[in-house]
Amino acid sequence: MSTYQALSEAEAVAYARKLPNLFQPDSELTSQEIGDGNLNLVFHIVEPSTGKSIILKQALPYAKVVGESWPLSLDRARIEAEALIIQGELCPDLVPVVHAAEPELALTVMQDLSDHVIMRKGLIEGSRYPLFAEHIARFLAHTLFYTSDLGMNQQEKKNRVKQFINPDLCKITEDLIFDDPYTDSPNNNVPPAIRDAVEAIWNDRELHLEVAMLREGFMTRAQALLHGDLHTGSIFIKPDSTKVIDPEFAYYGPMGFDIGAVFANLLLNYAGQEGWSKDEASRADYRGYLLGTIRDIWQRFEAEFRSLWNQYGVDRVFKTPGYQDLFMKRLLQDTFGYSGCKMVRRVHGLAQVADINQLQDEAAKERAQRIALGIGTSLIKFNRRAESIDQLLEIAGKAM
């Protein structure tokens, strides 16, 4: 048993040395803290003599970005490790291998993915990933189906809900995604150039009503074990491989929240193409690639999810004729709504995205911010009327 303390680089090496079956006894190990997130330490431990390496991720008891004034439960490290293990059983090729987990130290030891790049960075550089749609659609279909009442023993599912009660991290989402961006909150970082558009959001009652309902869904609908933070900074990628990391926000919630996170982040990059693309032709081409990827993800997700349901659905009542179609329609509608919420908060909320914020040309950045707000608010307002994924593409196309 160990009591919690935040590890230094030297202590991370000492800890790694004690792990069984990873490194040679007494070999030299190097350690570097490489975390770029807000909430955790990430140590990259390398054994130069063999080239072997691992990642040691340790949760901090507060949010780094705000300082010790924002305490956060260390239980999220247990949740992250347990979610990674469940996701690894369902989609072994799509998450890092977990070598060890020690909840007392809020520590997860996992496969080093340094040969991949963070997808947000890859998209900013204009890379294309032809296998991504299949990979992420399969990740979504399998993790959402097999952890829901559709695809697992329904009494065990109730225990799973309890296993993944994650109040601190859910509150971050409830506040930073579904509340602060819609009011003049001190947690926002409003870019002065778009103050008019942000104030319009603060005064838009139709928008507020939809967000209130989406927030209620986030708080009350324990449909499936969500990743909970599935943006392109939580996806490691290279042409032949996709790995989803960082499920510390995992909890039982509405399935459309995870699908919406993926779409929102592709759309934020779409907005950012105002500045990243070098000319109109390449901009149109890359935007076409991003929208095509969204359509491909939804179509593959829907086909795979329905096929799992038809083959492995556990419940007779859920086979009631017409029910599956209604379920999928509501899921698409949730996906529109949550995509929109995930976009809006990244423009003027607390935590923003490099796809837009790293644009050097201020005019391009402002256009990108307005496009992202335009798409996001339209998706939120349209969510309950959505009937096909093509409508999402139309909304994105019209925002230019």
Residue 241, Cβ density class (10 Å: 0-12 exposed, 13-18 middle, ≥19 buried): middle
Is residue 31 within 8 Å of residue 55, measured between CB atoms? Answer: no
Q: Assess 262 for contact with ligand ADP (CB under 6 A).
A: no
Nearest distance, CB of residue 51 and Mg ion, angstroms: 24
Q: Are 117 and 104 in contact (CB under 8 A)?
A: no
> Of these, 29, 42, 294, 368, which contacts ligand ADP (CB under 6 A)?
42
- Residues numbered 68-107 forming contacts with ligand ADP, rule: CB under 6 A: 96
Out of Mg ion, ligand ADP, none, what residue 377 binds, judged by CB under 5 to 8 A for its kind, is none
Beta strand residue intervals within 212-327, DSSP E: 224-226, 235-238, 241-244, 251-253
The answer to whether the beta carbons of residues 365 and 268 sit under 8 Å apart is no
- Choosing from 35, 61, 88, 126, the residue that interacts with ligand ADP (CB under 6 A) is 35
- Asked if 341 is part of the footprint of ligand ADP (rule: CB under 6 A), the reply reads no
User: Is residue 103 annotated as involved in ligand binding?
Assistant: no
Q: Which does 387 bind (CB under 5 to 8 A by kind): ligand ADP, Mg ion, none?
A: none
The number of residues that bind Mg ion (CB under 5 A) is 5
Of 35, 41, 53, 30, which is closest to residue 5 (Cα–Cα)?
41
How far, rounded to the nearest angstrom, does the alpha carbon of residue 225 sit from its chain's CA centroid?
13
- The reply to whether 63 sits near ligand ADP by the rule CB under 6 A is no
Residue 258 marked ligand-binding: no
Tell me if 229 is assigned to a ligand binding site.
yes
Q: Does 34 bind ligand ADP (CB under 6 A)?
A: yes
Min separation Cβ 236 and ligand ADP, Å = 7
249 in helix, strand or coil?
coil
38 known ligand binder: no
Considering only residues 2-61, where is the footprint of Mg ion by CB under 5 A? 36-37
140, two tokens: 């979504």
Angle of CA points 177, 394, 388, to nearest 5°:
80
Binding site for ligand ADP (CB under 6 A): 34-40, 42, 55, 57, 96, 110-114, 118, 234, 245-246, 248
